[in-house]
Amino acid sequence: MAAKLRRTKIIATLGPATESEEMLVKLITAGVDVVRLNMAHAKHDWTRLIIRRIRAASKTAGREVAIMMDIKGPEIRTGDLEVPIELKPGEIFDFTVKPGGERDAEIRSVDVNYRDLVNDIKVGDTVLVDSGLIRLEVLSKDDAHIRCRVLTPGSLTSRRHINLPGVKVNLPSFTLKDRGDTLVGIEEGIDFVALSFVREATDVELLRLFLKENNSRARIIAKIEDQSAIDNLDDIIRATDVLMVARGDLGIEVPLQELPVIQRRAVRLCLSIGRPVIIATHMLESMIGQPMPSRAEITDVANAVYEQADCVMLSGETTIGKYPLECVSILDTIARRVEEEQAADFPEPAVFIQERMKVFRAAVVLANEFPRSLMLVFTRHGTNAAGIAAHRPPRAPILAVTDSPETLRHLKIVRSVEPFLLTPFGDPEATIERATAALLKLGRITPGDKLVIVSDVQAKDRRIDSIQLRTVE
């Protein structure tokens, strides 16, 4: 049988350490499935250049990858400072929402980029600055200032991110900057748009309408990053195409002990509905500067694989880290070892209500009966392949054959699916024979393998779902 597929997909974020075409080819060859562009500070000229560079590197490596544009979303940040402010415990400090307004000469302050913050926040609320390193309590407010007491001291520098645990912020979910960035991505043919700070299902629906109006087939990734998202988690998962558990901001917004509980709950909900799910942030954080991860990080990655998440994501590790290729290799190694363990002791496939999902379940049960089986699925839009993947087949890889390059890239984010391009689709039997011959030539299947073939055939005015069992000759 051909070499085993790694079921868990790897996402790598592009940055100064990895944006050269040479490094991109190495990352793709090493096993990266999706390349993420963080649009928080990206310029449009760079974005266009880098998307084209990724496509070129993909061709050089001989392996297709998907491109995710992670748009900034609604962010509250401090303003510019000439020098850092060293905040002391118990100090009274002001956040000013009207730049250039009157200030108290005896109290230090910093501007904030969100003028309506005074309307959203109330006395007693907590303000977290710079990933929660600085903590303040709101004492009072007026139309221009929010007066706080410093609880946890630290050095405040320019443009630091502000988190407000438990506070409903009335910023738009899809900002003007996001619209401009997304339009550039659409023009360049991105595959996924990741929407930051999703608070409710309507945030996803707004982006979906924008994509439809601009004739884009890009899929939506909803990032859950605050308490509002947790409160509306079920509706968000049903509205989106993919869910991302963004543990950076989420870990600041919710109590630390809740984070692993939320992660597990989110993954289970996605599995129950059949949505791909990404675990992101701080997977191998120590490897930004060190060649080996901590034991805790190894266990963290392994837990995400044990939970059967579709993807694990690298952020700073591949943007500014010294060891981006090593990070990819370590994720690959951990994932393969845990998946090997899972295949030895696997649960029954999930049970779904929909009729077609029951057909897919039957195919997975059949594949589990044969040690040397593979699942071969034909799909135009990725629905069949994703439906089978939702049942988490533990042994048989899913070889998805499609006639659409876009669908091929969309499937790069789905666990256990290895997509292939075959054009055009035609007579069902001839298409199966062509696909089998192509997979034999690629070494992806070998004589003697059992193929569980899933397809649908149009018969007059109806579609017939089909499951076949064949032996490769």
Residue 467, judged by CB atoms within 10 A of its CB (0-12, 13-18, 19+), counts as middle
Residue 226 structure tokens: 């605050």
Rounded distance, CA 197 to CA 149, Å? 27
Q: Around Cβ 139, how many Cβ atoms within 10 Å?
A: 14
Q: Catalytic amino acids?
A: 36, 77, 223, 281
Asked whether the beta carbons of 42 and 319 are under 8 A apart, the reply is no
Q: Around Cβ 117, how many Cβ atoms within 10 Å?
A: 21
How does strand 145-152 pair with strand 92-96? antiparallel
Rounded distance, CA 221 to CA 7, Å? 20
Rounded distance, CA 235 to CA 346, Å? 29
Sign of CA dihedral 183, 184, 186, 190: negative
Question: How distant, in Å, are the alpha carbons of 28, 287, 317 from that of 325?
Answer: 10, 11, 9
Rounded distance, CA 101 to CA 222, Å? 37
Residue 171 CB contacts under 8 Å (≥ 6 apart), including other chains: 74, 76, 114, 116
Asked whether the beta carbons of 204 and 195 are under 8 A apart, the reply is yes
Residue 147 Rama label (left phi>0; alpha psi -120 to 50; beta): beta
Single out the residue of 91, 21, 119, 92 nearest to residue 61, CA to CA: 21
Which letter, b or e, does each residue of 70-98 get, where b requires 16 or more Cβ atoms within 10 Å of its Cβ? bbbbbbbbbeeeeeebebeeeebbbbbbe
How does strand 145-152 pair with strand 134-141? antiparallel
